Amino acid sequence: MKYKRILLKLSGESLQGPQKYGISTEVLDSYARQIKEALQTGVQIGIVIGGGNIFRGLQGARKGFDRVKGDQMGMLATIINSLALQSALEDNDVKAKVLTSIRMEPIGEYYSKAKALEYLEAGYVVIIGGGTSNPYFTTDSASALRGIEIEADVMLKGTRVNGIYTADPEKDPTAVKFDEITFEEVYQRNLKIMDMTAFTLCRENGLQVIVFDMDTPGNLGKVLAGEQIGTLVKL
């Protein structure tokens, strides 16, 4: 097994599937099955999910919402997604706990590093909702922060594309995929992998990142087995 403990970042937008809004039960079930298979290899799994399938604070601000209120609405969206994933995992006979960065018992237990590690060591999938609990921070930043806190070996960023390219492959057919790239090269090329706060947190704390396509069943297991899937961002 290549990794003992991982932080898996899932895109909220990916959860919506082809319907372009809300939560697709088919996508949820696919994710839950992949996570179950990964857990059976012995790896400990922490998860942070975005909320873009329901609400984005920045987009809300552009439409006239107060930015702080908009971000708080986005935090609640991540908790809705966290509960949905917990339910899908439990339907697949996987033990899962939702920890929230904002107090809201009994919906989820209040997050702490100690609590997260306790559940991870006990074999639970730990889903951390609510972002950082502060406005102006993305769920990518929350993922980096939680990954560092729980001492994950790697942050796996599950997306709709199969890695990092020289340009957006959905817009530029000549874009070339990287198998590996350093943090410094990402800075120099100004590649948009995640927001700069998240990226800098990972770099300064030595948390490597793998960007891969989570929507293809089996890819999570391949990444954990050390296969060349996606793009590794290394020091």
Residue positions counted in the chain: 235
Domain that residue 44 falls in: 5-234
Structure tokens at 105: 């018992």
Residue 110 annotated in ligand binding: no
Residue 200 annotated in ligand binding: no
Q: With a cut of 80, say whether residue 219 has pLDDT above it.
A: yes
pLDDT of amino acid 30: 97
| Separation CA 50–CA 128 (nearest Å) | 10
Structural domain total, the chain: 1
Q: Which of 22-31, 89-98, 169-178, 203-212 is predicted least confidently?
A: 169-178
Residue 14 annotated in ligand binding: no
Residue 69 annotated in ligand binding: no
pLDDT of amino acid 220: 97
The three-state secondary structure class of 132 is: coil
Smallest CA-to-CA distance from 56 within 115, 152, 135 is with 135
Tens of pLDDT, residue by residue over 64-115, are 778 899 999 999 999 999 999 999 999 999 999 999 999 999 999 999 999 9
CATH number at residue 156: 3.40.1160.10
Contacts of 161 (CB under 8 A, 6+ apart): 169, 170, 211, 213
pLDDT, mean over the chain: 95
Residue 83 annotated in ligand binding: no
Tens of pLDDT, residue by residue over 147-160, are 999 999 999 999 98
pLDDT of amino acid 63: 77
Residue 82 annotated in ligand binding: no
Residue 12 annotated in ligand binding: yes
- Residue 26 and residue 84 in contact, taking contact as beta carbons nearer than 8 Å: no
Residue 51 annotated in ligand binding: yes
Tens of pLDDT, residue by residue over 144-201, are 999 999 999 999 999 988 999 999 888 899 999 999 999 999 999 999 889 999 999 9
Amino acid identity, position 114: A
pLDDT of amino acid 56: 76
At 60, the pLDDT band (50, 70, 90 cuts) reads low
Residue 205 annotated in ligand binding: no
- Across 30-53, average pLDDT: 97
Q: What is the DSSP letter of 111?
A: P
pLDDT of amino acid 20: 83
